[in-house]
Amino acid sequence: MSTREGGLVEDEAAVIARVRAGEPEAYAELVRAHTAVALRAAVACGAGAEAEDVVQQAFFKAYRSLGQFRNGASFRPWLLGIVANETRNTLRAAGRQRAVAGREAELLAGEPLIPEGADPAVAAEEDERRRRLRAALDALGEEHRQVVVHRYLLELDEAETAEALGWPRGTVKSRLSRALKRLGTALEGGDERG
């Protein structure tokens, strides 16, 4: 199985079977293949500066729960569900305000505000668009924010989103539809809370 981050696990089911059979070092293949998406998920869900700790804890919990992992299921959505739960636990413990500030710092870190050779006016417009999108996303209710993050920021398909969030596909569709409508309203200047 190839992942979007470029990691490679030839046969995820075989790797999981090896771990279950007493070869714990095989788990490193899954960790390497899914760390980047797990970090993105933690940051997108609000872990901020705690993202690496959240991901480490999620991989640990996933390892301990491999016996309960359903044969034939995809590991990535299952892991991302654990990451989302760990992030929620971290946010509850640390307080939402500190986490939001950390998420914003993470999103802005690592890239120059105005890339060399870019038109400063265009860069300022892009920065303002990103700021408005982050604000609109933060204004959504937790369930609506989660479905948008999983579906679009983490690039999961509908079935993977449903599996990661533990919701039926119909719930994913309806919440995503409402969330996108609320985002559109907020970005157009309205303030429909969700």
Which mean pLDDT values do the consecutive 10-residue runs of the chain (194 residues) have? Answer: 52 92 94 95 88 96 94 92 90 60 59 61 80 86 90 88 91 95 85 50
Domain 1-110 = CATH 1.10.1740.10: yes
- Residue 113: count of CB within 10 angstroms of its CB: 11
Reading the block at residue 36, the tokens are 């980047």
Burial of 79 (0-12, 13-18, 19+ CB in 10 A): buried
Collapse the DSSP code of 8 into the 3-class scheme (helix H, G, I; strand E, B; otherwise coil) and give the result.
Answer: strand
In DSSP terms, which residues pair with 24 in a beta bridge?
Answer: none
What pLDDT is stored for residue 92 in this prediction? 79
pTM for the predicted model, two decimal places: 0.66
Q: Give residue limits of the domains in the chain.
A: 1-110, 112-194
Establish whether domains 1-110 and 112-194 are of one fold.
Answer: no
- Half-sphere exposure at residue 168, Cβ-oriented, CA atoms within 13 angstroms: 3
pLDDT at position 134 is 83
CB-based contact 9:29 (threshold 8 Å):
yes
What are the start-end ranges of the H helices in the chain? 12-20, 27-44, 51-64, 75-94, 96-108, 120-139, 142-148, 158-165, 169-187
Distance CA 124, CA 96 (A): 28
Structure tokens at 97: 């305000």
For 112-194, which CATH class? mainly alpha
The DSSP call for residue 4 is T
List, for residues 16-66, the tens digit of each pLDDT value.
999 999 999 999 999 999 999 999 999 988 888 899 999 999 999 999 999
Q: What does the block give as tokens for 155? A: 């690039």
Pair of tokens at residue 48: 């901020």
CA distance 105 to 166: 29
What's the pLDDT at 116? Answer: 62
Token pair for 114:
């105005």
Burial (CB count within 10 angstroms: exposed 0-12, middle 13-18, buried 19+), residue 6: exposed
